[in-house]
């Protein structure tokens, strides 16, 4: 999985508790992304980062926050988990676009989160 790890891989938590998911890369890529995948919705972008301390919202950012204090780590936090946030979460990375590269993304193995 292109030097991308996610932790934990599985988590069960209760409504109202905070949850942090971690994405770690060894590729030194500039861009990092958090998606959620739900049946019937494909992948939806939650937040992304274009550099250390530089982040922006995606399509479904409500209820989520992110932080990136180092190039290799991108954290996704659910401040107060709700049942609607039960999903599979994927991290992805991509290089900076250049005339000879593309915005191809490389994905981690995913984290299955269940909020009871």
Contacts of 65 (CB under 8 A, 6+ apart): 47, 76, 77, 79
Contacts of 19 (CB under 8 A, 6+ apart): 11, 13, 77, 78, 81, 113, 115
100 binds other proteins (CB under 8 A): no
**Nearest distance in Å: CB 76, other proteins:** 15
Site for other proteins in 22-41 (CB under 8 A): 31, 35, 40-41
**Cα separations in angstroms, 77 against 3, 33, 35, 84:** 22, 13, 13, 15
Which residue in the set 20, 24, 27, 43 belongs to the binding site for other proteins (CB under 8 A)?
Answer: 43
Start-to-end Cα distance in the chain: 30
- 87 or 108, CB closer to other proteins? 108
- 107 or 114, CB closer to other proteins? 107
**Nearest distance in Å: CB 17, other proteins:** 25
Which residue in the set 87, 90, 100, 115 belongs to the binding site for other proteins (CB under 8 A)?
Answer: 90
Residues within the interface to other proteins (CB under 8 A) = 1, 4, 31, 35, 40-45, 48, 50, 58-59, 90, 92, 94, 96-97, 102-110
């Amino acid at each position: 999985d292109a030097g991308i790890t996610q932790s934990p891989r599985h988590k069960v938590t209760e409504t109202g508790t905070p949850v942090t998911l971690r994405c770690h890369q060894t590729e030194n890529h500039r861009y990092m992304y958090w998606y959620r995948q739900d049946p019937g919705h494909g992948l939806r972008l939650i937040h992304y980062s274009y550099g250390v301390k530089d982040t922006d919202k995606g399509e479904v950012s409500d209820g989520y926050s992110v932080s990136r204090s180092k190039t290799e780590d991108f954290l996704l936090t659910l401040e107060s988990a709700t049942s609607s946030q039960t999903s599979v979460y994927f991290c992805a990375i991509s290089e900076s676009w250049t005339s000879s590269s593309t915005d191809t993304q490389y994905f981690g193995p995913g984290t299955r989160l269940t909020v009871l």
